[in-house]
Structure 1
């Protein structure tokens, strides 16, 4: 018996001391996009008529262990057994040795982009025109573009061919062989900012010639200049989203619905408690997210009765649906608006519900 006791103590000590390559996900806080957070409205709109909105359109989050946290075996086993957490390989959350700082920066950028896309998607659904253009989103340090192009520069053309969307930039650059020159026609970021402030169109452009280099990522070798292209917009009135300490792109759908609700008379929810998740692009297409099982738990714990779920996440979410929560499948903002119409009317029989098959 003494030997068994000592062996048990040794195993417990080993379990506490031995690190394992795993990380933990658990339900994070949920925030009503129609309400307040830390004493101020989440959605602040000026320059356009707004309407009162009731009920809940909650965005949901996931808590994760930090990049430098090393979980021990006991914690991993406890997490595997717990219903409200999920243990995943560390590299799933932090691939390629990504640091906490890098992950935080990336999540902040994705969160900012999701806010912009949410605004665009909501206004397009309302028929409100939004001006858009392609910009230099980031410049890779040490790349051929460093010092030549700058974040915020508007890309009008590459080699004389007009650029209409971000993907056009890569297509035009990769027509070259590494070492060949690509000519970017741009409006400098400072001039674009000044034009926007004066509510005029920037007209002066300049040509920037960059010698392409060879790519070094996991894809096929190709010509690159070391930038990523994105989209910037000018909105006809001001929409501010006030929510700190949140990252990633997964709140896009719920922000878009909150904006739509604030700009239209009546209530989208009919006073019901609806939560959800999903990325959204400028055209209103809803994309999948990570940690959906944790988000449904967090939403139901907060009081949600309906959960707007990206179609590609339905099968995973439906495998362990929290009691009393209805998972509603959506592919676009239009799907979400149709579902909310049924929810507020009480006619929920026809709702497109998630199943384990999708």
Structure 2
């Protein structure tokens, strides 16, 4: 065989071998891409996203779109060719697998966590919107979750209202951990609670639950990477009673990042006039009960998805501004917001055409 032919054959075989290796060898990466965007003022799958009963509502116009990110599943194993293609594709982002699924998180665990965060974001969106409108909302601290095989299992239950720990009144979720960690592991701690069933019955009857019980739990030692401390194996959260019904109907979405846009949609429906002035506005951001907007993941994918759907303005959490501004889609204005009040002020400027006053994102924040 001529040397030139042998060299070409060897090169071809080498190329085939490399291609096969690229297809067969998994790499520890996952992929993010733009997901669907949904107008919180409109319908989704034939039903209004926001349904409010028991209070006057008003006609809205324009778009207040929440945005999402598609991610590969926890058990998806990307190969080298797919990773290279993703790195070269402007509209996708390849990230370490552990970024999306830390510590070996399974698909089921991730879905459950996303569902819980989505549910909590809806509650906080309702509270933030009503507080901004001056409408009172009743709140209390509850047992959010009970860890399996922990000292609290079988003694406390999700939904129990925590009134006090060791006789000291609990006013916010952080108080629970603070009071428990005053103990040494092995010591007893006393929770004064309204059982979840009693609380549910009271809410149904529109009365205040008064039946409490004391529950004594022996603390154990924390097993996480932080400083060793006394724990009982629960997480505390907040529950609310609203003066009228606000339902958010949106399936197959998870995580906390739609909080801001839900809050603005609720505010718009409960106030005369249009917040958007008919403009197409999208955005993202977590929100807490006090209306503070927090950062989210996948901001670059969300701005791409919003612009592809026609958004002109994008409400951006302040802490995401620098990342988002590095590659802003053409025709999209990134508006920096830290609170729901900032977002409402920005919408006012957009409605009035005073866009020069908008606090825009830059690569510095």
Q: Per the shorter chain, which TM-score range?
A: over 0.9
Map of 1:296 onto structure 2: 303
Moved over 6 A (4+): none
User: Is 1:229 matched up with 2:236?
Assistant: yes
1:298 CA drift (Å): 0.2
- Separation in 1, partners of 2:269, 2:311: 20
2:114 to 90, 101, 107: 107
The 5-angstrom pairing of residues 11-26 of structure 1 reads 11-26=18-33
Moved more, 2-11 or 69-78: 2-11
- Separation in 1, partners of 2:184, 2:234: 17
The 5-angstrom pairing of residues 101-250 of structure 1 reads 101-250=108-257
User: Is 1:42 matched up with 2:49?
Assistant: yes
- Separation in 2, partners of 1:299, 1:338: 21
3-state SS of 1:271 partner: coil
Q: Deviations over 1:89-141 (max 9, x none)?
A: 00000000000000000000000000000000000000000000000000000
User: Is 1:307 matched up with 2:314?
Assistant: yes
1:297 CA drift (Å): 0.2
Map of 1:322 onto structure 2: 329
Q: Deviations over 1:4-60 (max 9, x none)?
A: 122111111110000000000000000000000000000000000000100000000
Map of 2:262 onto structure 1: 255
3-state SS of 2:357 partner: coil
- Separation in 2, partners of 1:180, 1:101: 35
1:2 CA drift (Å): 1.9
1:51 to 53, 58, 69: 58
User: Is 1:275 matched up with 2:275?
Assistant: no
Q: How many residues align?
A: 358
In the alignment, structure 1 segments of 5+ residues that lack a partner are: none
Map of 2:353 onto structure 1: 346
Aligned alpha-carbon RMSD (Å): 0.4
3-state SS of 1:308 partner: strand
Map of 1:83 onto structure 2: 90
- Separation in 1, partners of 2:175, 2:28: 40
- Separation in 1, partners of 2:130, 2:186: 43
1:356 to 336, 344, 363: 363
Q: Deviations over 1:179-216 (max 9, x none)?
A: 00000000000000000000000001000000000000
- Separation in 2, partners of 1:218, 1:116: 31
Map of 2:67 onto structure 1: 60
1:289 CA drift (Å): 0.2
3-state SS of 1:45 partner: strand
Structure with greater Cα Rg: 2
3-state SS of 1:247 partner: coil
Q: Deviations over 1:137-195 (max 9, x none)?
A: 00000000000000000000000000000000000000000000000000000000000
